[in-house]
Amino acid sequence: MGLEEELKYRLQDETALERVARILGPPTCETVQHNVYFDTPGLKLHRSGILLRLRREEGKPGGILTLKKAVVLQPGRIVAEEQERNLSARRVQELLEKPSEVLQSLDLSLAAAVLEELHGAALQRAGDLITHRRSYELPEGELALDLVKFPDGSECEVELETEHAQQGRRFLERLFESAGVTAFPEGEPKSGRLFKRLGLLGRGADVEPGGSEGLR
């Protein structure tokens, strides 16, 4: 189990995202990711800073099950304990049908924390979204430009997974300045924004992007 530190910023629209992409040049890779989030009907995991996500990439069999538990959650920065497990196509189907049973069968320490948090409540498929991702391997870390497709609209996000947050933040600030775009530190994960759009969480006041509970 390791710690993942991400710097996260939301951009105004796809035009801004393309301006950043032009500065960066050709990506290391491009993927279309189908993400499924699991939780209880009352979102017990999300409210406790725990994420349980299945990610499948178009053109590839199987998928990746990810568990995260928040350690630091700030606007523009998330630090989380993270564990992943590659799943075969058969196990993916089992997870979609019986998520609680599959989770119990996994030899992952974070899975035990998830099960304890559930207190016997059943897991269910809480929501889906699609991410069109362009990835860049950079000296500052692994950068992703994301066009996130929610059921009722889309958003644009920049993520930098880094071991040096201050250096990474300076790099992103210079990148946004060079691209001539305004970027908002994002404190609310994709999953939280998805749950709000689905009516599972209160939307709150209309403010600029940033600030919430839960994980990506």
Q: How far apart are CA 24 and CA 88, in angstroms?
A: 34
For residue 54, pLDDT over 80 is answered with yes
> pLDDT (tens digit, 9 = 90+) per residue, 82-107?
999 999 999 999 999 999 999 889 88
Instruction: Report pLDDT for 188.
Output: 85
- Determine phi and psi for 36, rounding to 5 degrees: -120, 125
Nearest to 130 by CA among 101, 155, 107, 112: 155
> pLDDT (tens digit, 9 = 90+) per residue, 113-167?
788 888 888 899 999 999 999 999 999 999 999 999 999 999 999 999 999 999 9
Instruction: Report pLDDT for 29.
Output: 97
Of the pLDDT bands very low, low, confident and very high (cuts 50, 70, 90), residue 203 is low
Stretch 16-24: mean pLDDT, rounded? 98
Options 1.10.1660.10, 3.40.50.300, 1.10.565.10, 2.40.320.10; CATH for 2-197 is 2.40.320.10
- The kind and range of the H/E element at 92 are helix 89-97
Cβ–Cβ < 8 Å for 139, 163 = no
| Share of residues in the chain with pLDDT > 90 (%) | 78
State how far Cα 139 lies from the chain centre. 22
Cβ–Cβ < 8 Å for 22, 178 = no
**Strand ranges inside 28-151, DSSP E:** 29-39, 50-57, 63-74, 77-87, 124-138, 141-150
For residue 205, pLDDT over 50 is answered with no
Cβ–Cβ < 8 Å for 73, 49 = yes
For residue 7, pLDDT over 90 is answered with yes
Stretch 171-200: mean pLDDT, rounded? 95
Instruction: Report pLDDT for 202.
Output: 72
The structure tokens 């409210």 sit at 47
Instruction: Report pLDDT for 39.
Output: 95
**CA distance to 39, 131, 188, 193, 207, per residue, from 203 (Å):** 19, 22, 12, 9, 10
For residue 21, pLDDT over 90 is answered with yes
Instruction: Report pLDDT for 67.
Output: 94
The structure tokens 């099950």 sit at 65
Model confidence, pTM: 0.90
Cβ–Cβ < 8 Å for 33, 130 = yes
